[in-house]
Chain A
């Protein structure tokens, strides 16, 4: 049972927009800690996708954006492409656990 809750799967057709939610609590997202998002392609290490207040590492397209409200955060992917098919994870800090926590991951399928 992950501290941050994500939907197990989402899907969308090429060109569409999908949103992945990440629900936490008052000791992590709700406490104001930043949420970071990672993309993991099959058989590879996770890659930092978006961090903090919508910052993207060099090379990550602006089709990926995030929002945050209360105890939840969301990752939006616009203009879906076949190469976006991957697992996506959210991460934050939890003050009651005194450590980083991850969501359970969401598998994105591009139809």
Chain B
């Protein structure tokens, strides 16, 4: 069965970086995009970008460009999202989710990784 297993919760200080992983199993890793969706405490869902594991092409919303890096490792079927220059507003649960294209639905989701930014 399809599974997306994310890394554990992180606590970081402002200005630091965080790297969250998402390990996929149960399907052909390179046939689907991996999207990242952020949910701040008590808030809604916010799309933060995607990567095509086949080739590594990425796409991010403009307000996230420059601070985020997404990479994929086809040997371990794992996608990574690294966010730098962390600020308190980055405190959120970060979900990875599988999609067939940038405009498509997200049919499987990870359980989420809580990133807390606090001094």
The interface on chain B, measured as residues whose beta carbon lies within 8 A of the other chain's beta carbons, has a size of 25
Cα(A61)–Cα(B10), bound, Å: 37
Of residues 48 to 91 in B, which have CB atoms within 8 Å of A's CB atoms?
Answer: 49-50, 59-62
Shortest beta-carbon distance from B20 to chain A in Å = 14
Judge if A104 is at the interface, Cβ distance under 8 Å. yes
List of B residues within 8 angstroms of A59 by Cβ: none
For A99, give its contact among B59, B104, B108, B111 (CB under 8 Å): B59
- Given A45-B95, A45-B111, A45-B112; A105-B44 close (CB under 8 Å): yes
- A98 in contact with B59 given A103-B44, A105-B45 (CB within 8 Å): yes
Chain A residues touching B, majority SS: strand
Would you call A91 and B95 a contact (CB within 8 A)? Answer: no
Q: A99 and B105: CB pair below 8 A? A: no
Cβ-neighbour of A36 out of B61, B106, B111 (below 8 A): B106
Contact A2/B106 with A45-B95, A46-B95, A99-B59 known, Cβ cut-off 8 Å: no
- Indicate if the CB atoms of B112 and A48 lie closer than 8 Å: no
Across chains A and B, the number of contacting residue pairs, with CB separation under 8 Å, is 67
Q: Does B61 lie within 8 Å of A97, measured CB to CB?
A: yes
Q: From residue B4, how far is it (CB to closest CB) to chain A in Å?
A: 9
Distance in angstroms between the alpha carbons of A40 and B45 in the assembled complex? 10
Complex formed: what's the CA distance from A57 to B50 in Å? 22
Q: List 25 A-B contacts (CB under 8 A).
A: A34-B104, A36-B104, A38-B45, A38-B106, A40-B45, A45-B109, A45-B111, A45-B112, A46-B45, A46-B95, A46-B97, A48-B108, A51-B107, A52-B105, A89-B44, A91-B45, A91-B47, A91-B105, A91-B106, A97-B61, A101-B47, A102-B44, A102-B46, A102-B47, A105-B45
Instruction: List B residues at the A interface (Cβ < 8 Å).
Output: 35, 37, 44-47, 49-50, 59-62, 95, 97, 102-112
